[in-house]
Copies of this chain bind each other. A is one copy, B any other.
Amino acid sequence: MRDHHGVSHAPQRLVASLLAEGGPMSGPDAFRRWWRTISTRAGAERRPLEELVGWHSTATGELKHDSGGFFSVEGLGVRSERGGPVEHWQQPIIHQPETGILGILVKEFDGVPYCLMQAKAEPGNRNGIQLSPTVQATRSNFSRVHGGAAVPYLDHFREPGARRVIVDVRQSEQGSWFYRKCNRNMVVEITGEVEVLDSFCWLSLGQLLRLLREEDLVNMDTRTVLSCLPLAAPGLHTLFPSRSDPYRAALVRSLSTDAPAPHPLAGVLSWITEARSTPRLRTRWEPLDELHGWHRADGRISHESGRFFDVIGVGVTAVGREVRQWTQPMIEPYGTGLIAFLTREADGVLQVLVRQRAEPGFLDVAELGPTVQCTPGNYDALPADARPALLDEVLRAAPDRIRYDVLLSEEGGRFFHALNRYVIVESDVDVPDDDPDFRWLTVHQLSALLAHSHYVNVQARTLLACLFSLSVS
């Protein structure tokens, strides 16, 4: 059993990293000073889709990489089997059937695990660099389809060896923009020497989660990996210092698997089974150049309503250890999204309100998403009953009930300036226990679901990581 060692003490050791003082990057302002030394940059400028190099349009308009690998932009027809405001629509969607790796390397210093993080520039970042996992690689990266350099540290994630696997689970990504995209979320602990390359640094979980409270600093790939950490165990809350803030105390209590839940996990799974046994969205491929309402003009693909997103081209100049230039298509959404969890407290245990969502790119019918996930601007001109449920509960929340409110971007390798406002709000909204769409879950239940694929969507995973960040002072 060289590989896949026990993970039994993982939750306790993760808490030690949450509460750690000191470590390789300690002292006031140490991270800031290091961050300012990073010279890696990726400048991106818009280019007409027709001028992308290494990309071509097929006879029916699909955008494909000349290698046949990487990703493509194709057309999808979607039919809702449950009625709803729009019963049938067509849209461009990114097709990237390969499973990549998002991996954080962990190593112990003075008995505490630290994460090797990377300052990484992505063309879609509006602010240049963000904090990314140790490895963020598509299969095309592995096989160097686009001729890049070898991915550092990749072998620790690909080759069984003297390592401890803490997280290893495939998770979906944006189901409205990606067709059945899956990335392998990994956290791997090693004991040997690790050379710290330029743009990499060791951070404790506590340091990392505190940085997640800053605008646009911790990238999406880091957030999804953090959300999969097994931060739940019996009595886990006893490892935290006692809290004067009752919200934080209830959150920490919710990490303990003996904390009571409003529904047993088997009941939550049954509710998911019920939803997935009924058809929700039927999809089929359609020619990209014949999608209803979408037009290719001025070097981009846009919807005639001026809503949703554009497919644009960008030219990228990345300056790091070497200078690299490339062009690629990206998705540029309109407007800033709002992604929110309502939370409540019962018997001293925090609960999170999740909502089932069917998105056209999901592999398995529906996943659990945030309480609210939408672009509010899309509803300004629409009647009140067209607004998503509980949107106004978030927008009108009293400031003292807002526990987290930060602008974060979606993945900068495919999405151009895809900014969302992530919010966590205390609420005493009344949702029936048997509501078909909503359920209150404890944090340890969300963690249990995240040991498996296809249960929790990427926006809810970011919110869970944000919630984790509220457990440290």
Contacts and interface: CB of A to CB of B under 8 A. Distances in A.
A82 to B, nearest CB: 14
A267 B160 CA distance: 12
Interface string A262-275: 11101111110110
The listed residue with most B CB atoms (<10 A of its CB), out of A4, A6, A364, is A4
A168 interface: yes
Contact of A7 (B98, B169, B266, B454): B266
Q: Majority SS of interface residues in chain A?
A: loop
A244 interface: no
Contacts of A380: none
B276 A1 contact: no
A168 B263 contact: no
B434 A1 contact: yes
A8 interface: yes
A396 interface: no
B99 A276 contact: yes
B276 A170 contact: yes
Nearest to A278: B99
A394 interface: no
Contact of A8 (B8, B264, B273): B264
B99 A267 contact: no
A184 B274 CA distance: 9
A278 B99 CA distance: 7
B5 A453 contact: no
Contacts of A451: 266, 269
Given A4-B264, A267-B5, A273 B168 contact: yes
B6 A264 contact: yes
A249 interface: no
A168 B270 contact: yes
A433 interface: yes
Given A160-B434, A364-B453, A453-B364, A1 B263 contact: yes
30 contacts: A1-B262, A1-B263, A1-B434, A2-B434, A4-B264, A4-B266, A4-B267, A4-B434, A5-B267, A6-B264, A7-B266, A8-B264, A99-B276, A101-B277, A160-B434, A165-B267, A165-B270, A168-B266, A168-B270, A169-B273, A170-B273, A170-B276, A170-B277, A184-B273, A184-B277, A230-B266, A269-B452, A273-B453, A364-B453, A364-B454
Interface string A233-251: 0000000000000000000
A87 interface: no
A7 B434 CA distance: 17
Contacts of A101: 277
A269 B449 CA distance: 13
Interface string A409-436: 0000000000000000000000001100
A436 to B, nearest CB: 10
A363 interface: yes
Contacts of A182: 277
Given A184-B277, A269-B452, A276-B99, A7 B170 contact: no
A168 B276 CA distance: 11
A196 B262 CA distance: 35
A434 B267 contact: no
A1 B270 contact: no
A139 B2 CA distance: 47
B434 A270 contact: no
Nearest to A160: B434
A298 interface: no
A154 to B, nearest CB: 13
Contacts of A7: 264, 266-267
A3 interface: yes
B277 A4 contact: no
A72 to B, nearest CB: 15
Interface in A87-143: 97-99, 101
Interface string A260-298: 001110111111011011110000000000000000000
B434 A269 contact: no
